[in-house]
Amino acid sequence: MNTIDSRVFEIQHENSPSRLLFTVDHASRYIPDAYDNLGLEDQAVLYRHIAWDIGIEDVTRRLADKLQATAIYARFSRLLLDANRFPDDPASTPGSSDGVEIPANRALAVEEKKQRIDTYFRPYHGAIQSLLDVKSAAHDSPLLISMHSFTPVMNDFERPWHIGVLWDSDARIAKPLLDILKQNSTLTVGDNEPYSARDPMGYTMSVHGTDRHIPNVAIEIRQDLIDTHQGAEKWANIMADAVGQLCKRLAHKSGSG
């Protein structure tokens, strides 16, 4: 598979025979120079959760290595274009986020938004589609796991969960994974927390999972737990163990008819 632009997406273990595909829609805070930081005067904003999912790329890279699984990373900031929202959603190019105004996204011209969609969104999701095509041909059912992280505090509420399992109507991954994670007494596990995947459902799970009848789930890990390499390694181990158990359960269920 040819990469259209090294800044659009990156694939790890592209030719892995594993049925697993990890997607990281908000891996990067990168905004091309031509966009002049979207008019943001304070570049420190780009290090905040509004620009990317802090820590989740580090976790997923380690996790994919441990499982020798395929992972794909969007290489553009969610402020430029949110890869996990439907393109016609105004929030896909937010005019403000968590109280921060994004000047270049205010009154965004239709043609400018279309250019961003054509340049970033479509190539990234086209690559996901192609990866799933290959895995679908090799396996009865690939597994799609969308990796995210969440801010510890939102609207003055301190979120107690360490990890959340987000799912809609497809419980094939979610239910066993929740059961596996909850067996670890040190973890506070959220079922459709810190928010629900059902209202609204993210683009990646909806289009690549539900629409294709591919088992899918989104994982949310709290950012203060994974904002260091040590934290990322710890959570990569937790997830590798959980996903490994999940795959064994699914294989046993499939083998037992």
Residue 2 lies in a domain: no
User: Which of 155-164, 228-237, 245-254 is predicted most confidently?
Assistant: 228-237
- Total number of residues shown for the chain: 257
Q: What's the whole-number mean pLDDT along residues 118-142?
A: 97
Would you state the pLDDT for residue 156? 83
In whole angstroms, give the CA distance from residue 200 to residue 218. 13
- For residue 150, what are its two tokens? 């969440």
> How many domains does one find in the chain?
1
Q: How many angstroms from the chain centroid is the CA of residue 159?
A: 19
pLDDT band at 188 (very low <50, low <70, confident <90, very high): very high
Q: Is the pLDDT of residue 146 over 50?
A: yes
Q: How many angstroms from the chain centroid is the CA of residue 16?
A: 19
Residue 3 lies in a domain: no
Q: Is the pLDDT of residue 4 over 70?
A: no
Share of the chain above pLDDT 90, in %: 88
Q: Which residues pair with 154 in a beta bridge?
A: 157
Would you state the pLDDT for residue 5? 52
Residue 1 lies in a domain: no
Question: What's the Rg (C-alpha) of the chain?
Answer: 18
Whole-number average pLDDT of the chain: 94
Residue 189 in contact with residue 163, Cβ under 8 Å? Answer: yes
**Which of 52-66, 118-132, 241-255 shows the lowest per-residue confidence on average (mean pLDDT)?**
241-255
CATH code for the domain in which residue 52 is found: 3.40.630.40
Residue 45 lies in a domain: yes
Backbone angles phi, psi at 108, to 5 degrees: -65, 130
**Structural domain that includes position 29:** 9-255
Residue 4 lies in a domain: no
In whole angstroms, give the CA distance from residue 215 to residue 211. 10
Residue 214 lies in a domain: yes
Residue 50 in contact with residue 79, Cβ under 8 Å? Answer: yes
**pTM, two decimal places:** 0.95
